[in-house]
């Protein structure tokens, strides 16, 4: 079973949003995906988080699309 780490999401956003901003964005997106913050997510859960992040638009959406593409090919 493929597992995607919270850290992978976090690292993708922290340079642009800062540590606090990336953490806040991900907490919000994870909650909107009806999930809880945890260390690892299944591929399906990670794609749900990406779907929520895509709705934010702008660079958040672009990064979410790149992440989703990576997760799909794993």
Which pLDDT score is estimated for 1? 80
Residue 74, CA atoms < 13 Å, CB-side half-sphere: 15
Which pLDDT score is estimated for 14? 97
Confidence band of 74 (pLDDT split at 50, 70, 90): confident
Question: What are the tens digits of pLDDT across the range 17-64?
Answer: 999 999 999 999 999 999 999 999 999 999 999 999 999 999 999 999
Q: How many angstroms separate the CA atoms of 42 and 48, rounded?
A: 10
Mean pLDDT for 7-26 is: 98
Q: How many angstroms separate the CA atoms of 50 and 44, rounded?
A: 10
pTM as predicted = 0.94
Q: Which residue is it, tokens 């850290």?
A: 7
């Amino acid at each position: 079973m493929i597992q995607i780490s919270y850290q992978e999401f976090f690292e993708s956003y922290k340079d642009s949003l800062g540590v606090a901003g990336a953490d806040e964005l991900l907490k919000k997106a994870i909650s909107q995906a009806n999930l809880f913050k945890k260390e690892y997510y299944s591929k399906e859960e990670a794609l749900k988080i990406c779907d929520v992040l895509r709705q934010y638009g702008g660079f958040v959406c672009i990064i979410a699309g790149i992440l989703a593409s990576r997760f799909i090919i794993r």
